[in-house]
Amino acid sequence: MAYRLPILLQTLWLVYPLLAGAAEHRPFWTEQALFHFGDDVFFTGRSSCAPSIEEGRQRAYLAAVQEVRNFTRAKDIEGFPLDTQMIFEDARPADCAPGFVTVWRLLRAPRAALESLAKRPTRGKPADISPILAQVMAIRNLTPRVGMLRDEVWSRYGLPRSIWARPDQGELIWDYAQFGLTIVFNQDDVLTRWRLNGPHPRSSDETTSPAQQEPRTETNLPTIDLTTRLEQLEEQQDQERRRAAHRYCSLRFADVPDALRPKPGACEQREYERLKEQHPRF
């Protein structure tokens, strides 16, 4: 059953509060030092207040490599397969002087390779190291699963970078471009499949190849990009918040002498920020 227009619009109104201020949010993985995803383990390195993007990227890489060393207790990781899954750069970090940048770099390593690295004989390494499998089970598992509800996905990965709809298939697609993850929901907001792009793509159905996918026919409807519509709804909501803040402050200080009133715009800005924080997730 395909998305009909009323259902599609309702979905937009349910989702777009999530995207308020999306540009201000970092991808979820910047908050994780390491995590388990499928058959891989991801390590995050951060370089704060670097003088240039290039130096920030290099420092972030070295920081992520140190996380690998800490995890495996291996001093030498020469020849170990490490791939960069993603880089995120904050060109204007609030805690740095102007002109400095903060960079996060996400490295990806196969779990089997980590197991081999941990077993390398190294001078001074304790003999009773816990197996990598046990360590992986102990860290946070962020692998999505078929059957997850949309609110579970939001709680785990945060705001998607963009949202698409396939009306003919009744599907809603959340694209986490800053991680390489694509998640597909059905009309009941249940996760039906996912795919992680990158050096070694993973998916919920590893056996499905492009040749096995159903060919596109003339009766199929085109995919609809809802991102622009969501941005318009976000702007509309933002304007409504500012109008509400102005009304509140006008009433709040209607009988207050000018000498005792706050500076112009101060009350409105505080009320506007408060209203932004009050919006529910759904």
Band of pLDDT at residue 271, cut at 50, 70 and 90:
confident
Band of pLDDT at residue 114, cut at 50, 70 and 90:
confident
Read off the pLDDT of residues 157-213 as tens digits, 9 standing for 90 and up: 987 888 888 888 889 999 999 899 999 999 899 999 999 998 788 898 864 444 344
- Decide if pLDDT at 72 tops 70: yes
Read off the pLDDT of residues 150-159 as tens digits, 9 standing for 90 and up: 989 988 998 7
Q: Mean pLDDT score of the chain, rounded to an integer?
A: 78
Collapsed DSSP state (helix, strand, coil) of residue 231: helix
- Decide if pLDDT at 128 tops 80: no
**Residues forming beta bridges with residue 41, ordered by sequence position:** 36, 109
Band of pLDDT at residue 38, cut at 50, 70 and 90:
confident
**Can you read off the two tokens belonging to residue 39?**
């058959």
The 3-class SS string of 134-182 reads: HHHHHCCECCCCCCCEHHHHHHHHCCCCEEEEECCCCEEEEEECCCCEE
**Residues forming beta bridges with residue 112, ordered by sequence position:** none
H or E element: which one contains 108? Answer: strand 101-110
Band of pLDDT at residue 133, cut at 50, 70 and 90:
low
d(CA 232, CA 258) in angstroms, rounded, equals 37
H or E element: which one contains 276? Answer: helix 266-278
H or E element: which one contains 12? Answer: helix 5-15
